[in-house]
Chains A and B, each alone.
Chain A
Amino acid sequence: MLDNNIAKLRGKLKISQQELADGIGVSRKTISTVETGRFTPSVVIALKLAAYFHVTVESIFSFEE
């Protein structure tokens, strides 16, 4: 299962899902579904998120079997 820290990282920066969505050029729905684990994003979105938060992809996403 793919787990993520997007909500925590957003919380640190005090930004909304919409602001994050606008920041990386996706819909708010994409952010909310990725955040809740209902949608697995592509590598492109993962890299965009990492660049936005200035962290590595591994620190946002973790895979648990």
Chain B
Amino acid sequence: MQTKTELTPAIEQHFLTLIAKLSTIFGLLFITDSIYTLIESIFPDSTWLKIIVGTFGLILFIAMGVSLFKDLKFQGKLNRKTLWYGKFTDEYISYASMKGYQYSWNVMSILLPILLILASLNERVEYLPEFLSSIPILEFIKLNFAILMLSYGLPILYMLRREQV
């Protein structure tokens, strides 16, 4: 893949905003998918609820497709370090990107050990409610992935929000 090295701060900001949006949409999509599965198992007869959640999921899926398409446009404009390693030349953009990684790392490094402790306790005593302990591994992974994506995307979107000049 041929990449150009000329990179303006505006392109970097646009690219990071897009990545953060994509990450947030991915997170919401996985949460919606898990909620849909949950509704199917708890309320199998509530069609309207499934339609609402399903429509929301479809909208997110389309938004994800649009974001991915926009993301492809940047491939010729970005250098390899920015595209693959998230290295930005602009200081604040680089700071926002790093903050996103920090937040996602902190959230997951707190959440996973808590779940690990609860799971190991659950082996000895009936500590967790049946509902939590019966979550299938696939749904569990989806929820963790959603939290990871949201904790990366949302802080960046907040830091890069539009302001009055």
B-contacting residues of A (Cβ < 8 Å)? 16-18, 21, 25-30, 32-34, 39, 41-42, 45
Question: A29 touching B13 by the CB < 8 A rule?
Answer: yes
Q: How far is the CA of A21 from the CA of B10 in the complex (A)?
A: 10
Residue on B with the closest CB to A36?
Answer: B163
Q: Are B12 and A27 in contact (CB under 8 A)?
A: yes
- A-contacting residues, B60-89, CB 8 Å: none
Q: How many Cβ-Cβ contacts under 8 Å join chain A to chain B?
A: 38
- Which of B29-37, B91-99, B101-109, B120-128 interfaces with chain A? B91-99
Size class of B's contact patch?
10 to 19
Main secondary structure of the interface of B (DSSP, over half): helix
Main SS class of interface, A: helix
Set A18, A32, A41, A42: member contacting B163, Cβ < 8 A: A32
In the assembled complex, how far is the CB of residue B65 from the closest CB belonging to chain A, in whole angstroms? 27
